[in-house]
Amino acid sequence: MIGFLTGLFVTMKTGFRRPVTAQYPDPEKRIKVENRFMGFPSLTWDYDVEEPYCTGCMVCVRECPTECMTAKMKDNPLFSEGKSRRKKIIDEFEINLGRCILCGICVEVCNFDAIEMSHEHELSKRVRNGNRFGLQQLLKLGIKFQSNTNWQPKQPEKNSGVPVKKVDEE
Amino acid sequence: MEINKTINSDNVDLMINMGPQHPSTHGVFRLLLNIDGERIIDVKPHIGYLHRGSEKLCENERYAQVVTLFDRLDYVANLNMELGFCLAVESLMELDIPDRASYIRVILCELNRIASHLLFYGTYGLDVGAMTPVLYAFREREKIQGFFESITGARMMHNYFRIGGIKEELPDDFNNRLSLLLDEVSQGIEECDMLLSKNEMFLARTKNVGIISASDAVDFGVSGPNLRASGIARDIRVSKPYSIYDRFDYGIPVASSGDCWDRYYVRLEEIRQSIKIIKQAMSQMEDGPILAKVRRIARPPKGEIYFRTESPRGDFGVYLVSDGSDKPYRVKVRAPSFANLQSLQYLLKGAYIADAVTILGSIDIIMGEVDR
Ligand code: SF4
Ligand code: SF4
């Protein structure tokens, strides 16, 4: 009987405590994700020269454990015009988010600060293959992430696309 | 149909198929019970519903990528799985791990052990018919998961340990948050303990049910809390210390009778010991590097190794064969849940059908690890 009553006492105590439940779809009452939260991978946008950071070097494609990404590079038109430092730029990029396991390896191996784990984590789509994200969608995710978190590249000097500096060096 | 033939003998009264979608099987696990009235006379477990071929998949991934696969073996104690694999590769490469990385690993692994045992506490309450404990357990577990999220970026599939260290430095508010978390969790544990452990109905369901003697447990290869509940104080962290576990002072909870209540209480007691370890680790931890000097793509020398660690479920072993390339030649996992499950047939024979779920729950299997 005593064990039963102590249990009841614990339950009663709960009545005087703030509720710990969060209400998921409600934007105010849901749990906020942490800063380091790894949602879907997204491509970042270089505002200085108005192009993506990604050069299509394919390192992330090779290192991805689930082989869910493809990338293709092209010559950068802005480079020939002298507006950017990137010789090559990404042409097509696709991540199958339905297959991605959110491991963050692609972010770790990228040398150009071009890919980041965004805070986006809701996957359901109305169409089949709606989770195959192309370059534009990934950039959209990235831009949203950049503006929400005030993202800065980890190696700003090395990865900036602004060509002025290169002229100085020469 | 075929299965019926193999198990059917003339004196069978009734055969019950339990699972694979039964909620108390913690995954997809199927049991065929032959019952005579209320007694179970024979049982046949069927596993393999969650087989993903992890061991074979490892052969096609580089060492850094394999860590993501190990996350998915025991999916409630992910960091302990990662630790087992990383330590195996590191000892094959004879790497020295920086102290700080080891301390962070231990802290996170012990937190993970707490989270795993809390999950057991909650679901075990459900198994025996108590609805409330799971809410208390998940409240505490939720805090730990949220804490993991702030460090590793994920709540469950962390991919945080690396060959030679860890992925990134801890966030600035780590110490404050951790001590706050420990206070809350230890308070929560006491509440959980008060709520269920001495409850008369719970005692009636679990005391003297599903008894396994020490010698039988050893014969079946049972390990971890299940073995310690039978009275054998064997814990790899103490008997063969790996990483830095020899630097802490903590006890190994042991019970004597080996029944369901003992298996339950040993786990609850282990949570308290884990909190003790974390507190010591916190005070001993110093600044320093978090990654040993390794090349980005690990290439262990030719050779093989078997490395044992103590996961929340028991003796977790990784057997690794390397041919000197950047991918493992063979990976074999000794999953504690798998070995513990072998004792189920023995435990269930002669038990009442109402106790089947109680006994199955008390062994605390995770199907992801059993089927791999
Ligand atoms: S995201 Fe980074 S690693 Fe991947 S292709 Fe672009 S630049 Fe290369
Ligand atoms: S997060 Fe992992 S699985 Fe997803 S795209 Fe990046 S490397 Fe591939």
pLDDT tens digits for B288-340?
888 888 887 888 888 889 999 988 888 898 998 988 888 889 899 988 988 88
Q: Do A20 and B69 touch (CB under 8 A)?
A: no
Spatial CA neighbour of B59 closest among B74, B73, B51, B69: B69
Residue B162 has what pLDDT?
Answer: 86
Task: Please determine, looking at this structure, whether the domain spanning B53-371 carries the CATH number 1.10.645.10.
Answer: yes
Of B68, B199, B201, the CB nearest to A65: B68
- Is the C-alpha dihedral spanning B189, B192, B194, B200 positive or negative? negative
The residues that bridge with B331 in the sheet, in sequence order, are: B320
Tokens of A166: 């290169």
Compute, in angstroms, the gap from residue A109 CA to the centroid of ligand 1. 8
Q: Which residues contact A16 (CB under 8 A, 6 or more apart)?
A: none
A138 Cβ inside 6 Å of ligand 2: no
In the predicted structure, residue B65 carries a pLDDT above the cut 50: yes
Of B61, B142, B196, the CB nearest to A65: B61
Compute, in angstroms, the gap from residue A110 CA to the centroid of ligand 2. 12
Number of Cα atoms under 13 Å in the Cβ half of residue A48: 16
Quick one: angle between helices B99-128 and B132-152, nearest 10?
Answer: 160
Q: Which of B131, B152, B159, B290 to mutate to test the interface with A (most CBs of A within 10 A)?
A: B159
Q: Do B153 and A34 touch (CB under 8 A)?
A: yes
SS (H, E, C) B281-298: HHHHCCCCCCECCCCCCC
Q: Which residues contact B279 (CB under 8 A, 6 or more apart)?
A: B182
* In contact, B257 and B349? CB cutoff 8 Å: no
Residue where the block lists tokens 């005391």: B207
* In contact, B141 and B135? CB cutoff 8 Å: no
Of B151, B154, B199, the CB nearest to A3: B199
Compute, in angstroms, the gap from residue A114 CA to the centroid of ligand 1. 6
Give the integer Cα–Cα distance in Å for B119 and A61: 36
Q: Do A20 and B139 touch (CB under 8 A)?
A: yes
Q: Output the CA–CA distances (angstroms, integers) from residue A28 to A32, A119, A124, B150, B194, in the order listed.
A: 9, 16, 21, 20, 34
pLDDT digits (tens, 9 = 90+) for B301-313: 888 899 999 888 8
**Radius of gyration for the alpha carbons in chain B, expressed in angstroms and rounded:** 21
* In contact, B296 and B311? CB cutoff 8 Å: no
- Is the C-alpha dihedral spanning B145, B147, B152, B153 positive or negative? positive
pTM above 0.90, yes or no: no
Ligand 1 surroundings by CB, under 6 angstroms: A 54-60, 71, 90, 110, 112, 114-115
Q: Is B4 helix (H, G, I), strand (E, B) or coil?
A: helix
Q: Atom 7, ligand 1: which residue's CA is nearest?
A: A54
Is some CB atom of chain B closer than 8 A to the CB atom of A27? no
**Mean pLDDT (whole number) for B247-255:** 87
Tokens of B50: 């969650």
Q: What is the mean pLDDT of chain B?
A: 86
pLDDT digits (tens, 9 = 90+) for B106-144: 999 999 999 999 999 988 888 888 888 888 888 889 889
What are the start-end ranges of the H helices in chain B?
2-7, 54-58, 63-71, 78-93, 99-128, 132-152, 174-196, 200-206, 214-220, 225-229, 236-239, 260-284, 336-348, 356-363, 367-371
* In contact, B65 and A63? CB cutoff 8 Å: yes
Residue type, B196: L
Q: Which of B52, B72, B132, B203 to mutate to test the interface with A (most CBs of A within 10 A)?
A: B132
Residue B156 has what pLDDT?
Answer: 87
Of A3, A102, A108, the CB nearest to B157: A102
What residue segments make up the domains of chain A, in order of their start?
37-153
- Is the C-alpha dihedral spanning A55, A56, A61, A63 positive or negative? negative
Residue in chain A nearest B66 by alpha carbon: A65
For residue B329, give the DSSP letter: E
Domain A37-153: which topology? Alpha-Beta Plaits (3.30.70)
Residue type, A119: H
In the predicted structure, residue A57 carries a pLDDT above the cut 80: yes
Q: Atom 8, ligand 1: which residue's CA is nearest?
A: A57
Q: Is A138 helix (H, G, I), strand (E, B) or coil?
A: helix
Q: Is B330 helix (H, G, I), strand (E, B) or coil?
A: strand
Tokens of B286: 């110093």
* In contact, A108 and B167? CB cutoff 8 Å: yes
Residue in chain B nearest A65 by alpha carbon: B65
Residue where the block lists tokens 């190696």: A155
What residue segments make up the domains of chain B, in order of their start?
53-371
Spatial CA neighbour of A62 closest among A103, A110, A116: A110
Compute, in angstroms, the gap from residue A114 CA to the centroid of ligand 2. 14
pLDDT digits (tens, 9 = 90+) for B143-197: 899 899 988 888 888 888 888 888 888 888 888 888 899 998 888 888 888 888 8
Give the integer Cα–Cα distance in Å for A113 and A158: 10
